[in-house]
Structure 1
C-alpha cells in the first residue's frame, strides 16, 4: 500500500500551510472495533448522526461499519475542511477516501473566539477533552455551527461512488472514535488547530484585559456606579465572580486517632478510621463532580439508602470485621454482599439496581431497546436473544444483557448458578455483550 499511501499523504508524511505552520494531524490506524460502538460521547454520536442522516444507502453504512470494525481504515489525516484515509476492501484493494466538511469563515471564527473569551469554562472543558453541550449551544447562538448536520459531510472516494460508499462511511465511523478522544479534531476540521486556537485566545485575552477604560469626562461616559436594586435586577452589571479553586490532587487525610488517650472500651478504632477515610474519599468525589463542566444541569441524586451505603463502604475493602457488620446492615449475607460489591464497582447505584431489580419496560423504552439491538449487529450476525422483562439472555449460553433505566446495557454472566455482573454499562448492546463473552 506504499504507493497509494505516498499519493495520499505525500512522501514527507503530511501537508503544511504556506506559512510553514503545521496544518494537519495524522492519527495511526486504530485497532479493530469488534463488538463495540464507535461513539461513546454525545458529540461523537452527533457526528455519526450527520453521516447516517446524509447517506442514502443504509447498505453502504453497514458495509462501512464492517470495514471499520475489521480495522480496514488506515492512518487518518485530519486537516481543515477534509479528512483522508486509505481504506481496504475485504479483498485487500486499497481506496483513497476523503470526507469534506465546510471550514468556518474568518467572521465565524471571530464570533466563536469572542464568545470563548467571555466564557472561559468552554476552553477549560476542551482542554479536558470534553465538549459540553452549552459550548455548542453558545456557539450556535453566536451564529457558528460546530457540529455537522444533514448534508455537511461530503464524500469523495476513488471507487467513484456518487454518494457515501462503504469506504467513506468506514472513515467517518473511525473518526467518531478519534472525536471521542479529542474534540479539537473537530475544530481542526473546521479550520483551526489546537495550538493556533489557543494562541489566538491568549492574544485576545490580553487585549481584552488591556482595553482602555472609557474617559471619565466623556459626554457618553456611563454614570459612576449604579444602585444596588438595579445591579441585582440585571445580573450582567455585576462583576464576574472569582474562579473556583482547583481540585486537589487527591482526597484529604482524616485526623489520626493515634493519641495518648486510650479509646473507650467499646470503640472499634480501626472501624472509625476506615469510616473517616471513606468520608474523605466521598467528599472528594462530590467536590470533583461539583467542579465538573455542566454540573449545574445535572439533577441532584437522592441520598443513598443505608443498604446502598453499606455496599459502597464494602466496596472499599474494609476488612472482615467491618465487612461482617456491613453485611448485616445491608440485609445481605456475605455471598450476596460480595455480588452487590462487584456490581457497585462496575457502576455504583445504577449497577446495583440492575443487579437486584427487574422491571417491565414501558412501550417507548422497549421500542428504543429493540431498535438498539437491531442496529448493533449486521444482518445475520445478531445472536439469538430470549427476552424476559428488562433482561435478554443469549440462547444456549450463560451470557445475558440487562437494560438499565437510563437506556444503557449491562453485561452479565452466569457463574456457579448465579447471574454475575461482567463489566460496566455500555450504550451499545454489542459492546456489552462482547464484555460478557470475554469474561469466560
Structure 2
C-alpha cells in the first residue's frame, strides 16, 4: 500500500513510521510519501526515519516531495497532519488570546478558532485535490482542530475522511489500569465532540465498572483525569470528562496559569531541526510528552503515558480495518447520523464507531449527559461559524464564532482578538 503523510516534515511523523516498521501485515504499507512545504524539515525527518529503519530490510520506502499533486496521485491512504502557520502561528494565537485575558490553547477557545480560520481553507483545498487525484483514497485526519477540519473536508470527501484523536484512547487505557483490567476487554461508552467528550460507562463483559471507580476516591485520583478534575467533581458529574474539559470547568485557573505551549514547542523544535538525529528526536519527544498539558497538573506525568502508542496506533488500526475489511470498533470523528439527539445528522461527533471496508459509522452509545448538551451544541455552532468564515472570508461569521465561544463570552474581546491577530486574513479586518 502507498501512504501519504501531509505535513511530512512534522515532528511526530517518526511515531507513525515506527508503527509502520512494527507492522507485519501481509499487505502493509510499502511506500511512504512525505509531503511538506518546508524542504528542510522534510530532510530532517527523513534522516530520523532512515535511522529508525537502519536494521530493517523490508522497511517501507521513503519519498519526500513539496509537490502536493505528485504526493497524492495513486495513493491508497492519506494521513493529514498539517499545521498552517507553523508553531509561530500557534504561539501568536496564544499570545493574542492571553493579551485579551482569555485562554489561547490551540484547539480550545480563541486559539482553536484562530487555528481553524487559518487551517480550514487549506484543508478544503486538499480535500478537493484528493477528490480529483485520488478519488478511491481514504483520508485520516490528524489536523487540529480535528472535528472542525474533518467536518470541513467531509463536504468534498463524504465518509472517505475520518478524524482521529488519541485522547479517548488514553483515557480508556488509564481507567483500565486504575481498575486492574485489560483495556482490550472493555467497551468505552464515550460521546461528544473532539476534545469535548465524556466517558459515561466502562463495560467489561456487560458490567459497567465506572460507578465502582467513581465511588473509590483513591483509585479515581490515581490517574491523570482523576487528579485533574478531583474525586468530588467527578462524583458530581457521574462521568469522566476528556482532559480538555479542564479548560471549561477550571477556566479561571487555566487562564491564570498562562503557559504558552506554542512558545515552548517552537524553541524546543528549533533545536531539534537545527541538528536532527534519532537520538535528539527521542530526547525531544520524551520532553514534549512529559510537559503535555503541564499547566493543568501539580506533578509529573505518569511514565505509562510517555511511550507513544497513541494516535499512530489508532490510525494504523483504522487503516487496516478499511484495507482488509477487518471489522473493529474505534473511537473516531464521524458523521452523527442518528447517534446523538443533540446535534444534526451531518455533524461530526467523536464516538465509538464500527469500521470495515466501507469506512466508519457510529454505533449506539449513551446520550450526552444533560450538563454537557449545552456545551456540545454551542461548540458545534462555533465550529460551523468558523468553517463558514474561513471559506467565505465573512467577518461577521468570524466575529460570531469568537463571541459565542463560552471561553470568550464578550463581543468586545472577540472583536479585539479578530482585529489584533496578525495571522488572520485581511478579509476579517474591520472596514
Which of the pair is proportionally richer in strand?
2
Q: TM over 0.5, yes or no?
A: no
> Shorter-chain-normalised TM-score: which range?
under 0.3
What is the TM-score when the length of structure 2 is the normalising length?
0.23
Which structure carries more relative contact order (alpha carbon 8 Å, separation 6+)?
A: 2
Which of the pair is proportionally richer in helix?
2
What is the TM-score when the length of structure 1 is the normalising length?
0.23
Q: Which structure has the larger Rg?
A: 1
